[in-house]
Structure 1
Amino acid sequence: MKQNNLKSWYKSGAPGVWMSGGAVAIAIIMTIGLLLVIASRGLGHFWPADVVEADYSIPGQAPKVMAGEITQTEEVPRARLAASGLPVAEEGGEFMTRQLLKVGNRELFGADFSWVIGEWLSNPRTPAELMVVERREWGNMYGYLINVKENGQVVAEGEAAWDELQKRIERVEQLHAQLARLEKKDIGRINHGMERIRLEGRKLELQGKLDATAQAALDARRAVLDADYKVLEAQIVELYQQFNRDSMTVRVSDGRESNIVLGKVVRAFRPNAMGPLDKVGFYGIKLWEFVSDEPREANTEGGIFPAIFGTVLMVMLMAVLVTPFGVIAAVYLREYAKQGPLTRVIRIAVNNLAGVPSIVYGVFGLGFFVYVLGGSIDSLFFPEAAPAPTFGTPGLMWASLTLAILTLPVVIVATEEGLARIPRAVREGSLALGATKAETLWKVVIPMASPAMMTGLILAVARAAGEVAPLMLVGVVKLAPSLPLNGNYPYLHLDQKIMHLGFHIYDVGFQSPNVEAARPLVYATALLLVIVIATLNFSAVYIRNHLREKYKALDH
C-alpha cells in the first residue's frame, strides 16, 4: 500500500515541484546573503567607529602608546606568530589574538594600518578629545588638537580651539568649492575655447584660407579669452592664499606634534564624543559624499560620482545604439528573409556570437572602431588636430558601440522570439483590412512584440553594465578629469574617456597601493553597481509591463 502511495506521489509530479521550489529558495537565500555580506562590509566603512588608545608592550621593548580604529580581529596560532619572528612566549594557549589597527598618520608612521597582538595591548581607552582628521591626501590623522593658527600665529588653543577649528574648516570648504568651480568650469571653458581657436586656425591653414583678416579675427577672439584668463588667474591666486592661511597643530599617539594646513583637511571630528544621533547624521553625510563626490587618494577616498555617471551614460548610449540594429535584424530574419539553409546558418552564427568572450569584442572594438573607423573619421573631418587623435583613440562612443555589438545577439534572439509568438491570424487580418505588409509590420506586429524587445534590452543592459574587460581597451580609464557631458560645445563629448563602476572595482581592488584602505570601497562600489544595474533593469521592466498590458487585448 505504501509503495503504491509512493509511486502515485512520484507520478503526480510533486517531487519536481518541491525540488524546483527548493532550488528557487536556495538561489534567493544565496543572493540575499551575498548582498548582505557586500552591504555590511561596504556600508560599514562609512560609520564613524570609536578610536581606541592603548598601551602596547612588545616583550623586550619599551612600551608605547598606539591609537586607531580596530578594523579586523582574528585568532592566529601561537606557533605561526613565533615563526614570523615575534617574541612570543612558548607557554600559553594555542592561539593568540591579532588585530588590524588603522593608525593613520602615514607621513609619520609610514603606513595607515598596523597589525598588533591583542594580548600585548593594555589599558584600552576611548578619550573624547581624540580626533580624526580626514585629509585630501596622506589619509587620516589621529591625535589631539593643540592649537589653531592663522598665518603662523596661534588664534585658539585648548578646548576653545575645537570650535574655532570647525569654523575655519567650514570656511576652507567654501574656498575649495570656489576654486573647484573656477579651475574646472571657468578655466576649463577658456581652455576649450583656446583649443577650438587653435584648431580653426590650423584648419584654415591647411585649406590655404588663413589670410590676414582670418588671423586677425582669431587673434581678437584669443585676446578676449586671454583677458578672461588673467582675471580668473588673479582670483585663483588670491583664493589659494586664503586657502592655505590657516593651520593646526596635532599631537599624535607617540607624542610627536605635526602642523597641518587646513587647506588639506576635509573634516575633523571626534567619534568618541559622538552620540548615536550624531553618528547617524555623520553616516548619512559620508554616504552622500560617496555617491556625489569625486575620488581622491588613488581612488581609495572620496566619492565615485564620475564612475556612476560614466556607467549610466555609456549604458544608455549602448541601448540607443543596439535597439534599432537588433530590431531591424530580427525583423528581417523573421518577416522578410527566405527561410532556408542560409537563414538557419545566420541564426546559428547569431546564437554563437552570444558565447564569444567579451575581451574578443574589446580587441575588435580597438582594432576596427578605434583604429580603422576612428582613424578614418580623423583624416576626413579632423585633419587639423593631427597628429593628436580625436576619434582615433578610445572614448565614450567606441565603448558604447563595442558594448552594442557585444549585446546585439541577445536583442536579436529576444525580438525574434517575440515576433514568432504573434499569431499569423493577426497579420492576415491586418492585410485583409487593406493594410500593406509594411503598415502591418510597423503598426501591428512590432508594437505587439515590443515587450519581447524590452526583455532583450533588459538582458543587454544587465550584461553591458557589468562588463570590464572590453572597456579597458576602448575608452574606460582609472581617472577621468572631467565628465563627458558639460557646458562646452558640443556638450556631449563622445570622444572623451570615461570612468566605469566595474573598472573602478578592479582598479581599487587589484591596483591600489593601499590594499587595506581600498578593501571596504570594493564592497561599497560593488553594491552600488548592483543598485545601478537593478535600477536600469526595473525601469525597463516597468516599460515592458506597461507595453504588455497595452497590447494584451490584441494577443487574444
Structure 2
Amino acid sequence: MSVKQNNLKSWYKSGAPGVWMSGGAVAIAIIMTLGLLAVIATRGLGHFWPADVLEADYQVPGEAPRVLAGEVVQVEEVPRARLAAAGLPVAAEGGEFMTRELFKVGNRELLGADFSWIVGEWLSNPRTPEDMMVVERREWGNLYGYLLRVEEQGRLVAEGADAWPVLQQRIARVEQLHGQLARLEKKEVGRINHGLERLRLEARKLELQGQLDAAAQAALDARRAELDAEYKVLEGQIVELYQQFNRDSMVVRVSDGRETRIELGKVVRAYRPNAMGPLDKLGFYGLKLWEFVSDEPREANTEGGIFPAIFGTVLMVMIMAVIVTPFGVIAAVYLREYAKQGPLTRVIRIAVNNLAGVPSIVYGVFGLGFFVYVLGGSIDQLFFPESAPAPTFGTPGLMWASLTLAILTLPVVIVATEEGLARIPRAVREGSLALGATKAETLWKVVIPMASPAMMTGLILAVARAAGEVAPLMLVGVVKLAPNLPLNGNYPYLHLDQKIMHLGFHIYDVGFQSPNVEAARPLVYATALLLVLVIALLNFAAVYIRNHLREKYKALDH
C-alpha cells in the first residue's frame, strides 16, 4: 500500500471528514436561515417605504386611451403567447416576452379593485407629479389623486395651493378626536358595560340562591342608576365629538378626471411621496413601522397594526411557561429522584418521549374536548350558574389555549430537566447528606439549583415551539379579531376566559383568508418576521437567565 493511500486512510480514521461534513452542513443551514430571513425582511419591511406614485397614459390596442396612477408593486416578463391566451389584444409580431406590471391603483370604490395587472409596453408618458397625493383611509384602502379643496360642513375653507397645509392641520385635528373617541368608547363605555353586566349576573346569582329581596334589589338598582347616569354623560360627549369628527371633508380629483368627496373622519393620513426627500421618507418609514407594531388592525387585517396579536402571543406564552415549568420540573424530579427505576419507569419515559412527537392538532382536539367542554363546562356549572346558558369558561379562551400549549410542551421540559438532574455528580448529593441535610433539603437547596440551567433549556425549547404553534390554537381560543385585550382595567383585570389574537394565526388568516390577497401579501412577510423576532426576544431573555444561573452554580460542579 502506497504512502498516499496510508495517509488517506489515516485521515478517514481521524474523523476529519465527519468534522468537515458537519461544519459544512451547519454553514449551509446558517446561510439558508439568514437568506430566508433576508427575503422575509426585504419583502415585509419594504412594504412600509413610501414608494413614488407613477402616473402614465395607458392604451390597450383597439380601446380609448386612459390615465393610470398608482404604485408599481411587481414587474415580470411573461410570454407573449400567454397574454394572447388570456384574451389580450397582443400583436403576433414582436419579441417572445412582454412586460407585465402589477399596479396598486387604489380608489377601490371607483375602480372596483385595489390592484390591476397591466402590460408595460402599452404605457407611455410616465411621470411622477409632486402634487399627486396618497390618502390612507380607515376603510376602502388607499386613494390616489390631486387635492382640489378642503370644506367644512360643505363650506369652502381652502383650495389650490393653500389647501394642502390646511388639510394637514385638519387631519391632525381629526386624529386627535379619533383618539378621544377611542378612549371614551373602549375604556369608559367598556367599563360601564362591564359594570352593568356584572350587576346583571349578581342579580341572577341572588335570584338562584333565593336571596334577591327588596333590599338587595334596591341596592342593585341604585348602582345601576349610577352607571346609567355616567353613560348618559358619556353619550353626550361622544355625540358631540362625532359631530366635530365628521365636520371636515376634502374634494379630490382622481386620475380619470372624476371628482370625489372624502370625509376627513375616514382618513388616517395624506402625504405626497413624490415630493418627499430621503430624510422625509425615512421619517415616514419609521412612523409606519411604529404604527405596525403599536396600532390595531383595520381593513380585514390588511391595514394598520398588529399590536393585539403581539400582546396575545406574549401573554399566552408567559402563562404557558408559568404552568408548564412547575409541572415539568416536579414530574422530572419524581422520575429521577424518587421513582423506583424499573420497567414501569422506563415505560413512562418512553411515553413522555413519544408525546413530544404527537401532532399538535391532536393536542388541540384534546384541549377542546377536555379543557373547554369537560373542565370548562364543569367550572361554569359550579361557579358561574348565573351566566347560563352563555358559557364563561366553557368556551375557547386564553386559559385553555395556554393549558393546551403547556400540555404540548410538557415532554420537552421533563426530558431537559431529567438530563440536567442526571448530570449532577453523586458526590454532591452524598456530601450534602453527610453534612446532615435531609433528602428533601438536598434536593431543594442543592440539586434543583444546580439543575436550573437545564430547566431553563427546556423552557427555552418550550417557548420556541409554543410561540409558533397555530393549529391547536384555532380550536381553543385564538380568533381573527379580538376587540379587547385580555388584560385591562376591568375587574378581574386578567380575563382568562377571553379569546385572543395570535401572530401565527394572524399570518394564516391574512395569507389565506384575506379578501384582498395582493394587499395582504406584504403583511404576511412583515408579521412572519415579527413573530421570529418575538420568539428570539423571549428566547434571549431565557438564555440570559440560564447563563446567569450557570455562572452562579458553576463552583458547585467542581
Q: TM-score range by the shorter chain?
A: over 0.9
1:348-396 alpha-carbon deviations (Å, 9 max, x no partner): 0000000000000000000000000000000000000000000000000
Aligned equivalent of 1:271, options 270, 273, 276 = 273
Match of 1:443 in 2: 445
Aligned equivalent of 1:174, options 173, 176, 189 = 176
Worse-superposed segment, 10-19 or 41-50: 10-19
Letter matched to residue 468 of structure 1: V
Cα RMSD for the two superposed structures: 0.5
1:127-184 alpha-carbon deviations (Å, 9 max, x no partner): 0000100000000000000000000011100010000000000000000000000000
Match of 2:374 in 1: 372
Match of 2:58 in 1: 56
Match of 1:72 in 2: 74
1:111 and 2:133 are equivalent in the alignment: no
Distance 1:398 1:11 in 2: 54
Aligned equivalent of 1:19, options 18, 21, 31 = 21
1:30-72 alpha-carbon deviations (Å, 9 max, x no partner): 0100000000000000000000000001000000000000000
Distance 1:164 1:548 in 2: 61
How far off its partner does 1:6 sit?
A: 1.9
Distance 1:380 1:3 in 2: 80
Q: Note the 1:108-147 alignment, pairs <5 A.
A: 108-147=110-149
Letter matched to residue 89 of structure 1: A
Match of 2:239 in 1: 237
Give aligned pairs, total: 556
**What secondary structure sits across from 2:461 in the alignment?**
helix
**What secondary structure sits across from 1:178 in the alignment?**
helix
Aligned equivalent of 2:197, options 181, 195, 198 = 195
How far off its partner does 1:4 sit?
A: 2.3
Match of 1:547 in 2: 549
Distance 2:404 2:29 in 1: 32
Letter matched to residue 314 of structure 1: M
How far off its partner does 1:301 sit?
A: 0.2
Match of 1:410 in 2: 412
Distance 2:155 2:34 in 1: 56
How far off its partner does 1:207 sit?
A: 0.4
Match of 2:261 in 1: 259
1:247 and 2:230 are equivalent in the alignment: no
1:308-345 alpha-carbon deviations (Å, 9 max, x no partner): 00000000000000000000000000000000000000
Match of 2:498 in 1: 496
How far off its partner does 1:453 sit?
A: 0.3
Match of 1:224 in 2: 226
1:409-430 alpha-carbon deviations (Å, 9 max, x no partner): 0000000000011111111111
How far off its partner does 1:478 sit?
A: 0.2
Distance 1:243 1:462 in 2: 45
Distance 1:81 1:546 in 2: 63
1:90-121 alpha-carbon deviations (Å, 9 max, x no partner): 00000000000000000000000000000000
Letter matched to residue 76 of structure 2: E
Aligned equivalent of 2:364, options 362, 365, 375 = 362
Letter matched to residue 104 of structure 1: G
Match of 1:349 in 2: 351
Distance 1:177 1:515 in 2: 30
Aligned equivalent of 1:538, options 537, 540, 550 = 540
How far off its partner does 1:74 sit?
A: 0.4
1:483 and 2:519 are equivalent in the alignment: no
Letter matched to residue 557 of structure 2: D
Match of 2:282 in 1: 280
Letter matched to residue 226 of structure 1: D
Q: Note the 1:33-48 alignment, pairs <5 A.
A: 33-48=35-50
How far off its partner does 1:3 sit?
A: 1.9
Distance 1:224 1:81 in 2: 69
Extract unaligned runs of 5+ from structure 2: none
Distance 1:416 1:269 in 2: 59
**What secondary structure sits across from 1:287 in the alignment?**
helix
How far off its partner does 1:9 sit?
A: 2.1
How far off its partner does 1:8 sit?
A: 2.4
Aligned equivalent of 1:290, options 289, 292, 295 = 292
Distance 1:528 1:154 in 2: 45
How far off its partner does 1:83 sit?
A: 0.6
**What secondary structure sits across from 1:497 in the alignment?**
coil
How far off its partner does 1:12 sit?
A: 2.3
**What secondary structure sits across from 2:100 in the alignment?**
strand
Identity %: 89
**What secondary structure sits across from 1:159 in the alignment?**
helix
Letter matched to residue 236 of structure 1: I
1:506-550 alpha-carbon deviations (Å, 9 max, x no partner): 000000000000000000000000000000000000000111111
How far off its partner does 1:20 sit?
A: 1.3
Distance 1:7 1:386 in 2: 78
Letter matched to residue 317 of structure 1: I
Extract unaligned runs of 5+ from structure 1: none
Worse-superposed segment, 34-43 or 17-26: 17-26
Distance 2:366 2:430 in 1: 43
1:446-490 alpha-carbon deviations (Å, 9 max, x no partner): 000000000000000000000000000000000000000000000
